């Protein structure tokens, strides 16, 4: 039994579904296994630390992105710090210590010279020299 208007409604429904499906974008880690238990935080520089006698900078003030809390004192000790923007893009450092909003790195990878306010970074609870995927 054929109902009047059924075919046009089916066609329009199929068209809407196909348009919706074609507009979906897929994103992921491209087969990179990310440990769900791995702690990581994104942050943004809000102020530069004081330079030492040689003019080198080893600290900065930061805010967490999408978080209302600050870091606990020395919570980030030994964590890997990677810059995601700015002149130091992709440079990796080890956190020596931290307070609620100040992060200090070790001198092992050199100073932070070149960072600037609004640069973004990621902190990960893994050693700085760990192989990256």
Give the residue numbers spanning the domain of 98: 40-124
- Count of domains for the chain: 1
Confidence band of 127 (pLDDT split at 50, 70, 90): confident
CB of 103 within 8 A of CB of 81? Answer: yes
**Cβ within 8 Å of residue 113, ≥6 positions away:** 55, 56, 57
Q: What is the C-alpha separation between 3 and 110, in angstroms, rounded? A: 77
- DSSP structure class, residue 108: T
CB of 103 within 8 A of CB of 121? Answer: no
Indicate whether 85 belongs to any domain: yes
Indicate whether 80 belongs to any domain: yes
pTM passes above 0.85:
no
Predicted confidence at residue 25, as pLDDT, reads: 46
Q: What is the C-alpha separation between 44 and 85, in angstroms, rounded? A: 10
Average pLDDT, the chain: 82
């Amino acid at each position: 039994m054929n109902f009047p208007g059924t075919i046009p409604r089916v066609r329009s429904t199929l068209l809407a579904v196909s348009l919706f499906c074609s507009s979906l974008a897929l994103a992921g880690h491209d087969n990179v296994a990310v440990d769900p238990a791995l702690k990581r935080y994104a942050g943004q520089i809000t102020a530069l630390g004081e330079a030492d006698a040689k003019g080198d900078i080893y600290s900065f003030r930061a805010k967490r992105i999408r978080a209302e809390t600050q870091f606990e004192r020395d919570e980030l000790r030994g964590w890997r710090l990677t810059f995601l923007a700015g002149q130091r893009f992709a440079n990796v450092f080890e956190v020596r210590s931290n307070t609620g909003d100040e992060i200090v790195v070790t001198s092992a990878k050199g100073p932070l010279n070149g960072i600037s306010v609004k640069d973004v970074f990621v902190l990960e609870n893994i050693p700085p020299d760990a192989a990256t995927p």
